[in-house]
Amino acid sequence: MSDSPGEEPANLKFLRRLVTALTATMMIGLVVLIGLIVIRLQTAAANPPSALALPDSITLPAGQSAQAFTRGSDWYAFVTGDDTILIYDANSGALRQTIKINN
């Protein structure tokens, strides 16, 4: 063999450089991810979502009880125990629509 004992083969040099490049890429990627998470959390803390505006009081029709509630941009709705959806106007509180769910 003509190689001296201190010299390593070319493919081993290439593999060492490849592993070093992969390690550096992973470290940079991890720093970027941590930075993005920190920035996102700081932005969310500085701009909390607006509070959900709910009506002060709601009167359901006699004999009906609310099973579920949902809210849209200008309406809110209740699903009652007898499978009816009651949709109310968010501004006036007036009943907008009644939908009976058929089984």
Of 85 and 63, which is predicted with more confidence?
A: 85
CA distance 11 to 26: 22
Q: Could you tell me where the beta strands, DSSP code E, fall in the chain?
A: 66-71, 75-80, 84-89, 95-100
Inform me whether the pLDDT recorded for 12 exceeds 90: yes
In tens, the pLDDT along 29-42 reads: 999 999 999 999 99
Least confident of 17-26, 27-36, 41-50, 78-87: 41-50
Percent pLDDT > 90 in the chain is: 47
* Average pLDDT score, the chain: 87
Burial class, 76, CB count within 10 angstroms (exposed 0-12 / middle 13-18 / buried 19+): buried
Q: How far is CA 49 from the centre of its chain?
A: 13
Predicted TM-score (pTM) of this structure: 0.50
